[in-house]
A and B are shown apart, each in its own frame.
Chain A
Amino acid sequence: MSRASTSAAIFKTVIIQGILLSMAIAVVGGAAAFFAVGMSGLISAFIGAGLAVAFTTLTALAVWLGGKLPLGGFYGVVLGGWLLKVIVFITILAVLNHTDGLSRPTIFFTIVASVLGGLAIDAVAVLRSRVPVVEG
């Protein structure tokens, strides 16, 4: 992994690696769930991993894009985006929870795996980064 030298480079690295990790979790989890519970498990794994990567990537995108704004705009984008995102996810999960033909444990465990893996990527990217004190 190359060392990111600006905050924009950190977010780019994190978003790309997060998407790759979630794809890997979707494929591995989907294969395991396919053999355990069949086609519904495969679909559920892709839904779970997709939801988790969207949830975590949107935060990074909000901080990245909000960073180009003045301080008030930054917090508006980050916190407003966070609130909006949580409401949208409650709605999506409520709909999925009442959808037949999905493997509910598979969705849960792929979401948890993607979130924890994403956190590991975030932490490593930030710890390895060298953000200059003053950015141009």
Chain B
Amino acid sequence: MDATTAAGLVGNIAVIGYGLAAVGPGIGVGLVVSKTIESIARQPELAGRLQVTMWLGIAFTEALALIGLATPFIFAA
């Protein structure tokens, strides 16, 4: 009896993997954007600079999402 049978799981366990890969970037992008909105509300004159910095934060965070999406190419059974 393998581990998935013991746990009573049916279906593709890779779906759980994608769910976990989505949690981190979801929280990360949410934090980046919420802090940027807060900062622009405090200092609207800095909006241009803050948006560029926000984009850098999103770029780093979404890299995790893209790598997570691509993992079935090497981890699939």
Contacts and interface: CB of A to CB of B under 8 A. Distances in A.
Interface majority SS (helix, strand, loop, mixed), chain B: helix
A89 B69 contact: yes
Contacts of B69: 86, 89-90, 93
A12 to B, nearest CB: 12
Contacts of B62: 55-56, 59, 82
Contacts of B29: 79, 82
A26 to B, nearest CB: 15
A122 B59 contact: yes
A80 B47 CA distance: 20
B51 A7 contact: yes
A41 interface: no
Contact of A60 (B55, B66, B72): B55
A115 B48 contact: no
A56 B51 CA distance: 16
Interface string A103-129: 011011001100110110011001001
Contacts of B74: 104-105, 108
Interface of B: 29, 33, 37, 40, 45-49, 51-56, 58-60, 62-63, 65-67, 69-74, 76
26 contacts: A6-B48, A11-B55, A56-B66, A63-B55, A63-B58, A71-B47, A79-B29, A82-B29, A82-B62, A93-B73, A97-B72, A104-B76, A108-B73, A112-B70, A115-B63, A115-B67, A119-B59, A119-B60, A119-B63, A122-B56, A122-B59, A122-B60, A126-B56, A129-B52, A131-B48, A131-B49
